[in-house]
Amino acid sequence: MSPLSNVLVSLRKEQAHLERLLARVNSAIDALTDAPAKKKKIATKKKRKPMSAAARKAVSEKLKKYWAAKKTAGRKK
């Protein structure tokens, strides 16, 4: 066997060992919690409230002011 083959065999053994350990950890987590660790809740997407024209204009003005200040601060350096 070549040295590379020996390394691959060793890595595969280590992988199998780690997979067994991970299974044990997952079992312990399942035992300590009510819900199984593998099941995840599906997040629901929150819908945004529509913005009024006045609100959009106010945000626009604030952002224009913010970026203008950033632009002038960058020039002063």
| CA distance linking residue 41 with residue 31, whole number of Å | 18
Instruction: State the average pLDDT for the chain.
Output: 86
Q: Residue 54: pLDDT above 90?
A: yes
| CA distance linking residue 38 with residue 16, whole number of Å | 20
* Range of weakest confidence among 29-33, 48-52, 54-58, 73-77: 73-77
Which pTM was predicted? 0.40
Name the band, by pLDDT with cuts 50, 70 and 90, for residue 35.
low
Mean pLDDT throughout 23-48? 76
DSSP letter, residue 52: P
